[in-house]
Amino acid sequence: MATAGSIESTERRQGAGGKGSAESAHAASERPIAQADGRRIVSLAGLSQAASAYLSEDDVRRVREAYRFSDSSHLGQFRTSGEPYISHPIAVAEICVGWRLDADALMAALLHDVMEDSGVTKQEMVERFGTQVADLVDGLSKLDKIEFASREQAQAESFRKMLLAMARDVRVILIKLADRLHNMRTLGAVDRVKQRRVAAETLEIYAPIANRLGLNELYRELLDLAFQFQHPYRHRTLKKAMASARGMRREGLGKTIEAVQKSLRKMGVQADVLAREKALWAIYSKMQDKNLSFSQVMDVFGIRLLVDDLAACYLSLGALHQTYKPIPGRFKDYIAIPKVNGYQSLHTTVVGPYGTPVEFQIRTREMHQLAESGVAAHWLYKAEEETFTDLQKRTHQWLKSLLDIQHQTGDSLEFIEHVKVDLFPDAVYVFTPKGQIRALPRGATTIDFAYSVHTDVGNHSVSAKVNGQPVPLRTELQNGDVIEVITEPDARANPDWIGFVRTGKARSEIRHFLRTMKYEESVELGKRLLEQSLATLLIDSATLATSALEKAARDAGARSLEELYADMGLGRKLAPVVARTIALDMSARPTAAFAVRPMPIVIHGTESTAVQCSPCCLPLPGDAVVGHIRGGHGLIVHREECESGRRQRQRDAERWIDIEWAEDIQGQFRTVIEVQTRELRGTLARVAAEIAASEANIVNVSMEGEPDQFAILRFTLQVHSRQHLARVFRQLRKLQVVTRITRL
């Protein structure tokens, strides 16, 4: 098990006699387990027989040994349905046998609840079954013994543990998916609230993971079961509509199949022609997304062609397009460019015999087996990376990226947010300038591409070109785009990027960079704040012993001097308070120094996240300013005339300090101006041109006014200083259409 808050741990209860009495009545064995009325429930015989088809006798013996230990551990435990609990591990192992997992995985499937429910330690598992089995079971076990602030955090932490274990050994998630599938098949035994919660969890996490690993048959069943329990009435209604449509459209499908078979024979292609139905969840999602009724969904049924080889796929496509007219824009070649989960097929939609669209999927039998059974089940846990195919390398790279995200993310909820982003089923395929192909989620931007190349490329991106043309960094990528990212060594990740990136790697890397940068800058700012406060008390910080500063850090509850500086820079601790503590330890008399006016903190414009201009007054270099040390945010710069700042200063004076701009101030600063003009054609363009001529950047513009009378234009600009803004004003006053200019 891997998820706190899921149904598994609550689906068992002790029998009336407890474990002790049950053990005397029931020795662990492989005989069928039966209820009081003699009905057979489950037996190990089927599992043993299926495993014997591909495992050695010694491996089958080890699986039986794991069964006996699991049966003994779960004696007296029952599922909510009333079945002995051992029926669940056996069912999970049987699903794993269907994927032909190895003996260690089957043993872990049988033992996956033993550590969690029966008090068995990991060390005992290692001694009995070996390190691999113990690691698999540990990766599946929930974190019930740890205290969490909320159920959501506990669930997220359990997901994180499971996904990281999966990144090291994919068998963890395969067993967990089998566990979830059996629980979904038996979900009718639990209460309605739990059904909804588990179904939502399945739709949100488990089904997308199954799809990402190429386990399409499992993916469709999980979706259908989750739909059934999350929206039971809608599921029943749609199921009835499907049954009715099946009868009405049978004749049309029959005619289509007959015509296709005839055309294929003419081309000399041997093919299995099969009718297929769209999954209920897929139909429901399409109805929701496009606001359609069931009768308006035209691709409820489709046809699949299974052929012998690759050449036959394209011959079949030609035969289809000769028989029926293809619909433009509805052809996709997933053979030349497979999906990220390894899926390969040709998709085309044609106008059928009754004028309705019919979708065809054309693939080889090998591709079909891969599409239904998945690529991850048979190779990833036992193949060496050097022997991987391109497809295997892509999937393995995604699994390893989970470890990268974990390294950059401290919070479990944030980790799960990043992983969910990467589980989108749709993808776009783009190219590097050297022709390397990269798969990204639909909606990914040039910044996502930059981080997919390398973390440093993303962090230092300044601009990009798509197909040779300059584009904004937030540009969404399309299939076939060739992307070139331009970097500069001094460039830094922008917090605004978080709002539009789509990949988990990009999100986690940006946040990690910003956290690191903010910490480093906060340390530097905190050091300057303490020096200023000590100078106020006539203490030269350069003469202070390191031991005195370290003692002040301990007294303030910080683990190190660097942490104390960071806390002061972020406003979590006040530098004047720390300075007075140091002065008292030195037996100084700080009261005599209170009249000394502190030297102002100098703002250089390079402090980035540690120093921020307040959005209420948007100060510019050249304005008279004052600083507010805001808890958790660092130093906030206000104009002295700012009314909002003045009110806050009256309430909390000790958090306000004197600051001033450096003479060599750097950077660009936002300001908002209002330009009143006569309403004439082309006015906006003329005003914007003059602003651009003044070397100011226009960030945003809005317009209001009465037709044919006047217009008020509001520009958000980036300028270097108050003097730069004055140049913009002088430039605008040259225009006869401008009647008034105001800085807001």
Q: What CA–CA distance (Å, rounded) separates 438 from 430?
A: 5
When pLDDT is averaged across residues 326-352 and rounded to a whole number, the result is: 82
In the predicted model, what is the mean pLDDT of the chain? 75
Whether the predicted pLDDT of 238 surpasses 70: yes
Whether the predicted pLDDT of 702 surpasses 70: yes
Strand partners, 711: 677
Q: In sequence order, which residues have a C-beta less than 8 Å from that of residue 41 and are 6 or more positions away?
A: 32, 33, 34, 35, 83, 84, 87
Torsion of CA 113, 116, 118, 121, to 10 degrees: 110
User: pTM for the complete prediction?
Assistant: 0.52
Q: Quick one: CATH architecture of 244-373?
A: 2-Layer Sandwich (3.30)
Q: Please report, for the chain, the start and end positions of each structural domain, with discontinuous segments joined by +.
A: 8-190, 244-373, 390-509, 512-661, 669-743
Torsion of CA 562, 566, 569, 575, to 10 degrees: -60
When pLDDT is averaged across residues 329-333 and rounded to a whole number, the result is: 83
Give the side-chain half-sphere CA count within 13 A for 276. Answer: 16
Strand partners, 358: 350
DSSP letter assigned to residue 560: S
**Which position has the higher pLDDT, 400 or 118?**
118
Structure tokens at 727: 């140049």
Structure tokens at 565: 């500086």
Spell out the SS3 assignment of 672-741: EEEEEEECCCCHHHHHHHHHHHCCCEEEEEEEECCCCCEEEEEEEEEECCHHHHHHHHHHHHCCCCEEEE
Whether the predicted pLDDT of 588 surpasses 60: no
Q: Tell me if residue 152 falls in helix, strand or coil.
A: helix
Tell me which residue of 195, 285, 189, 201 sits closest to 232, measured CA to CA: 195
**In angstroms, what CA-CA distances link 706 with 672, 686, 709?**
22, 19, 6
What amino acid is encoded at 605 in this protein?
G
When pLDDT is averaged across residues 217-226 and rounded to a whole number, the result is: 88
Lowest mean pLDDT of 373-377, 382-386, 489-493, name the range: 382-386
Tell me which residue of 447, 439, 366 sits closest to 397, measured CA to CA: 439
**What number of other Cβ atoms are within 10 A of residue 362's Cβ?**
24
Winning range, highest mean pLDDT, from 10-19, 348-357, 400-409, 597-606: 348-357
When pLDDT is averaged across residues 431-437 and rounded to a whole number, the result is: 77
According to CATH, the superfamily of the domain at 8-190 is Hypothetical protein af1432 (1.10.3210.10)
pLDDT at 617: 87
pLDDT at 181: 92
Confidence of residue 42 (pLDDT cuts 50, 70, 90): low
pLDDT at 182: 92
pLDDT more than 90, % of the chain: 3
**Which position has the higher pLDDT, 707 or 627?**
627
**Which position has the higher pLDDT, 604 or 259?**
259
Q: Which CATH number fits domain 669-743: 3.30.70.260, 3.30.43.10, 3.40.250.10, 3.90.700.10?
A: 3.30.70.260
In tens, the pLDDT along 479-514 reads: 778 888 988 887 778 777 877 888 777 887 877 776
Q: What CA–CA distance (Å, rounded) separates 659 from 621?
A: 11
Winning range, highest mean pLDDT, from 59-73, 340-354, 424-438, 588-602: 59-73
pLDDT at 158: 58
Q: What CA–CA distance (Å, rounded) separates 109 from 555?
A: 52
Let me know: does 517 contact 551? Beta carbons within 8 Å.
Answer: no
The DSSP result for 194-252, as a single string, is: HHHHHHHHIIIIIHHHHHHTT-HHHHHHHHHHHHHHHSHHHHHHHHHHHHHHHHHHHHH
pLDDT at 225: 92
When pLDDT is averaged across residues 271-295 and rounded to a whole number, the result is: 82
**What number of other Cβ atoms are within 10 A of residue 370's Cβ?**
22
In tens, the pLDDT along 168-201 reads: 667 777 888 899 999 999 988 888 888 888 888 8
Winning range, highest mean pLDDT, from 190-199, 395-404, 656-665: 190-199
According to CATH, the superfamily of the domain at 390-509 is Beta-grasp domain (3.10.20.30)
Q: What CA–CA distance (Å, rounded) separates 229 from 196?
A: 6
- Backbone φ, ψ for residue 184 (5° rounding): -70, -40
Catalytically active residues are: 116-117
Residue whose token pair is 């120094």: 593
Let me know: does 557 contact 524? Beta carbons within 8 Å.
Answer: no
Q: What CA–CA distance (Å, rounded) separates 272 from 439?
A: 31
